Structure 1
Amino acid sequence: MDEQEIRKSAALEERHWWYAERRALVRRLVAPLPTGRAVDVGCGGGGNTRVLRDLGWDVTGLEYSPVAATLAASRGLKIVRGDSRRLPFADGTLDLVMSTDMWEHIDDDEAVARETSRVLRPGGRALVAVPCSMKLWSGHDVALGHHRRYERAELVTLMEGAGLDVVDVMSWNVLLRPVARLRRRHNDSESEMEEVHPVVNAGLRLAVATERYLPVGRLPGISLVARAVKR
C-alpha cells in the first residue's frame, strides 16, 4: 500500500463503518480470552491494537511501513517496525498473534503463517482476517497492493500447514457482498476507502452489525476471519 493510501486509511479509521465494525468484531472475538502478551501484525494506524490494549493485553503493534508505524506510535501505542515474514519475537513467547487484512499484502504468505505459529506458545491463539474470494478481485485490490483474495479451504490449508489448528473460519460482511460485487465490476483502479455521508455510514454499520444475530457465518462474505490454536 502506498503512502497516500496509508494516510487516507489512517484518517478514516476513527469513523468509517468498515474500520469501526472491524474493531467491534475484534473486541467481540478477543474479549472472552484470558489476557497475556500479544502482537498485532501489520497494525496500520493501530485501531485494532488499541482494542487489545483496552482489553488489558500487553500488546505490541508490528508495522513494516514507516509512515503507518509513525502514525500508530503517535496514538500512544507500543509499536515496532518489522517484517511479518521474520517476526522479531522469540519462539513460543506470545499468547495471541492477530493479523487483520494484512496477509494478502505479502508475497510469501506461507512465511507469515509459519512465523505466526513459531512465536506462539503451545495453546496460544491466532486471529487472522483476510479478504474473501477472487470473484471479488477488482481495482480496489490493486490499489491496496493485494496479491490475492482467499477461499475458505485455501486459508485453512495455509494455517494448518504452519502448525496451527483452525478452530473456526467465519465469513464477515456477508450482507454487503452483493453490493461490493456489483460496484467492483466497474472499478478498474481505485480503492473503495473513502469518506461516506454520515447517514450512509450509519446504515452500513447497521448492516454489518446485524450479522451478529443472523446465521450467515458460512455464507460467502467480503472477508474471512479465522481463529486457530498453536499445537
Structure 2
Amino acid sequence: MTDIAGDSALMSDALEDLESARNYRDWLCSLGLPYFGDDVLEIGSGLGHYAADWADMGVNITASEADPTRLAALRARFADDQRVRVRELSVPIAETGDYSTVVAYNVVEHIPDHVGALRSFAGLLRPGGAVVLIVPAFQFAMSEFDRAIGHQRRYRTAGLASVLRRAELKVERCHYINGPGLLAWYVTCRLLRGRPKQGPLLTAYDRLYVPAQRWIESKVTMPFGQSVFAVARKR
C-alpha cells in the first residue's frame, strides 16, 4: 500500500509529456549527478525517463515504482537494458538498504507524511549516503493541476530544509531552480487553469529558454524558482 496520492492516469500523462522536454530533463539530471555514488535508487521512477538518462550518463541505477501500470511500463522499458534494474517499492518503506544515493524527483510533495517518508529514504542508505530531491516551489503557485495529480504542498527552501532536518538528515544543498519558470507555471496552471503538455510551446521552451536559463543559474543562485533542489546526507 502506498500513501502517494493523485490521479494515476493524469500523472502518467504528465510524465509522458516530459519525454519531449529533453533539455529540461538533462538539466535536472545533471544537477543530481555530482551527488550520486556507485549504487543509486530512484524512488517514484514513473515511466523511466530520468532513469534512462542517468543510465546514459553512466549511473548504476535501480528504478522503482508503486503504481502497477507504471511499474509494468518500467519493466517493459528496461527488460533488455542491463544498466537499469527495476523493483516495486511503496511508500512508506519498511525495509532498509545499503544504497549510496536515494533520488526522488517530484515525489515527496505527493506524500502526506513527508518527514516519515524521508526517514525511510535514509534507512535505505549506507552511512554518509545522499538523499537528492526536487520538489515544486511556493504554495501560492498551487493549482488545480497540482491538486489533481496529488500534490499535498509546494515548498520554500527553508521549509524543505526544516523537513529534512526533522528526518534526521544533514542538509548539504537547498536552493531554487528555474527562476522564471515559476511565473510560467503560475500563469499557465494557476491563472489559466491549464497544464504543461506537449506542443509547440513546450518545444520552444525546451529548445530556447532552458539552455539559456541553465547557463544563468550555473553562475547565479536564484532567490525564487519553479522548484527546489536539495541534497541531504545520512549522518
Matches within 5 A, 1:1-231: 1-15=6-20, 17=21, 20-30=23-33, 32-33=34-35, 35-76=37-78, 77-86=84-93, 88-90=95-97, 93-188=98-193, 192-197=195-200, 200-205=201-206, 206-214=208-216, 215-231=219-235
- The alignment of Structure 1 onto Structure 2 pairs a total of residues equal to 222
Name whichever of 4-13 and 146-155 sits farther off: 4-13
Deviation at 1:226, TM superposition (A): 0.4
Q: Distance in 2 between matches of 1:216 and 1:183?
A: 26
Q: CA deviation digits over 1:134-159, x for unaligned, max 9?
A: 01011121121111111111100111
Q: CA deviation digits over 1:121-142, x for unaligned, max 9?
A: 1221111000001010111211
Any runs of at least 4 consecutive aligned residues in structure 1 with deviations exceeding 4 A, and if so which?
Answer: none
Ranges in structure 1 where 5+ consecutive residues have no aligned partner: none
CA RMSD of the aligned region, Å?
A: 2.1
Aligned-pair identity in percent equals: 23
TM-score by length of 1: 0.86
Amino acid in structure 2 at the alignment position of 1:2: D
Partner residue, 2:81: none
Ranges in structure 2 where 5+ consecutive residues have no aligned partner: 1-5, 79-83
TM-score by length of 2: 0.85
Q: Distance in 2 between matches of 1:42 and 1:141?
A: 17
Whether the 8 Å contact between 2:35 and 2:130 is mirrored in structure 1 is no
Amino acid in structure 1 at the alignment position of 2:25: R
Amino acid in structure 2 at the alignment position of 1:78: R
Deviation at 1:167, TM superposition (A): 1.3
Change (3 A) 1:23 1:69: farther
Residue 193 of structure 1: SS of its match in structure 2? coil
Whether the 8 Å contact between 1:6 and 1:67 is mirrored in structure 2 is no
